Amino acid sequence: MRDAATLQTLLHSADGRRDPYPIYAELHGLGPVCIVDRTNRFRAMVHGYQAANQLLRDPAFRVLDSHQMDQMQRPWREHPVQAALMRSMFFNNAPDHSRLRKLFSQAYTPARVKALTPQIIRTAQEHLDRMAEQGADGSPVDFIAEFAIKVPGDVISEMMGVPVADRAWFLPRAQAFGDALELGISPPHVLEAGDRAAIELAEFFTDLVALRRKDPQDDIVTELSRLYAECGFDDDELMAGLITFFNAGFISTTHLLGNGLALLLDHPSTAAALAADPDLAEGYVEEILRHGAPTHFVVRLSTEEREIAGATIPAGVSVLVLLAAANRDPSQFENPDGFDPFRTNIRPLTFGAGPHYCLGHALSRLEGQIVLPMLLQRFPDMTLAERRPMQARYTLRGYDTLPVKLG
């Protein structure tokens, strides 16, 4: 059996990025937590379900914020894409994280998410119709480009107040922004594209905020603009928050839909059961999030020595929390590598846990629960046109393209 340090190195290799699950299985054989020597980037890896859940809820483990990045001499301020991220609530600790999250929670309420149901149905129907037109002659249709990006992109755009006329311009820039967030050092061309996107998106939201302050609408940009102004908070924080919130609001759902469809087409009888009974969708979405997790890890910094699952994690070290590995923990899930939407108490850790639990989880789940049955009912004979590998990425894992034949 290979040791934890070797497995950590393999996770960051090309083969590990292509398929990390065999490495996760080996890590489970070493226990729920592994401590490695100081030469490794991450002194600890946490991959057991209960251990990861405990750590994510412990305030002694913090995200890498701007202060820590400065101490590590990371040149994040030189790159607009990284600067936007570090100013957002995603990379802030208490009290700033609590302050920013409270504002977003006031604007992005459960009632607002629930009210999106008719729009999600209408948007999905429009894009299903377009898919039907494109595939009417039997030619393959790229599910990612034509549906999995456009549906959540249109939904989050509508909720935030991005005008319809701007969405074709907006989505590619949001994708370029997200591509620059891969673990490790992004290739120069990816980072440059992300920087350009961050600058252009900040300019876009600056103009939109100014417009909404003159002419308020029933949307997230209007509400957040008002809340930030009332609290006297910095508009730079507002712009960073809007950019990152938009990106988080659609890309995870894109991969939920793409990964989910690929799983369902690999299990036709299971897909047919969902098409016949859409009320099963909640369990299906939870199992897709567990088995085909769009988000594979988060990083935390320990501020105090802690014992997690019998292992002592020293203070002041970086910890790699492997969410997707925790979702395949054999001590938590029977037959963890099998796809079974009829499991009970699935509760995947894909959206994290604790104070940084993903704010957009409810919308992503709702879109999956509505859209996947619609898709299977509209195209009951859909098949994969060809087997394409997932992106060789580690942060957000999904398909760049997924060609399907509609049947």
pLDDT for residue 392 is more than 90: no
State the pLDDT at residue 137: 95
Give yes or no for residue 378 having a pLDDT over 70: yes
pLDDT band at 66 (very low <50, low <70, confident <90, very high): confident
Tell me the average pLDDT across 276-305.
96
pLDDT at site 185: 58
Q: What is the DSSP secondary-structure string of 217-228?
A: -SSHHHHHHHHH
pLDDT score at 9: 92
Mean pLDDT for 259-278 is 97
Q: What region, left, alpha or beta, does residue 347 occupy, with left being phi > 0 and alpha being psi -120 to 50 degrees?
A: left
pLDDT-wise least confident of 182-191, 193-202, 327-336, 372-381? 182-191
Predicted pLDDT of residue 233: 87
Neighbours of 241 (CB within 10 A): 23
Tell me the C-alpha distance between 179 and 191, whole Å. Answer: 8
pLDDT value, residue 186: 65
The per-residue DSSP string of 302-360 comes to ESS-EEETTEEEPTT-EEEE-HHHHTT-TTTSSSTTS--TT-SS----TT--GGG--TT
Report how far residue 18's alpha carbon sits from residue 391's, in angstroms, rounded to the nearest whole number: 7
d(CA 59, CA 98): 12
For the chain, percent of residues with pLDDT exceeding 90: 77
pLDDT of residue 357: 94
Q: Is the pLDDT of residue 354 over 90?
A: yes
Sequence-distant (≥ 6) Cβ neighbours of residue 358 within 8 angstroms: 248, 252, 351, 352, 364
| Lowest pLDDT segment from 107-121, 176-190, 279-293, 296-310 | 176-190
| Digit-coded pLDDT (tens) for 207-229 | 999 999 999 999 999 999 999 99
pLDDT tens digits along 124-139: 999 999 999 999 999 9
- Residue 18 tokens read as 């292509």
How high is the pLDDT of residue 73?
64
Mean pLDDT over each residue of the chain, to the nearest integer: 93
Overall average pLDDT of the 91-107 stretch: 92
Task: Tell me which residue of 248, 251, 249, 289 sits closest to 372, measured CA to CA.
Answer: 289
**For 30-57, what is the mean pLDDT?**
94
- Confidence band, pLDDT 50/70/90 cuts, at residue 364: very high
| pLDDT value at residue 75 | 79
377-399: burial string, b at 16+ Cβ within 10 Å, e else: ebbeebebbeeeebbebbbbbbb
Residue 331: per-residue pLDDT: 97
Please write the tens of the pLDDT for every residue from 174-200: 888 888 877 555 678 888 999 999 999
Report the predicted TM-score, pTM, of the whole model to 2 decimal places.
0.95
Tell me the pLDDT tens digit for each residue of 138-159.
Answer: 999 999 999 999 999 999 999 9
Residue ranges of domains in the chain, CATH in brackets: 4-405 (1.10.630.10)
The pLDDT of 239-243, averaged and rounded, is: 92
**Distance, CA of 198 to CA of 173 (rounded, Å):** 8
In the prediction, which pLDDT does 184 show? 59
